Amino acid sequence: METQVSDIAKINDEFRRVETMCVSQGVFNMYDTLGLIKAVRQYKDFTEDNDPHGEHDFGSLEWEGCKVFWKIDYYDPSFEVWCDPLNPECECVLTLYLAEEH
pLDDT tens profile 51-98: 999 999 999 999 999 999 999 999 999 999 999 999 999 999 999 999
Per domain, the residue ranges of the chain are 2-101
pTM of the model: 0.91
How many angstroms separate the CA atoms of 96 and 22, rounded?
6
How open is the CA angle 67-68-72, to the nearest 5 degrees?
Answer: 150
pLDDT digits (tens, 9 = 90+) for 32-47: 999 999 999 999 999 9
Burial class (CB in 10 A: 0-12, 13-18, 19+), 45: exposed
Please give the Cα distance from 44 to 12 (Å, whole number).
Answer: 12
The whole-angstrom separation of Cα 92 and Cα 35 is 22
How confident is residue 3, by pLDDT bands cut at 50, 70 and 90?
A: confident
Report the C-alpha gap between 13 and 101 in whole angstroms: 24
Predicted local distance difference test score (pLDDT) of residue 1: 64
Antiparallel, parallel or unpaired: β 58-63 and 22-23? unpaired
pLDDT at position 2 is: 73
Task: Give CA–CA dist 98/85, Å, rounded.
Answer: 25
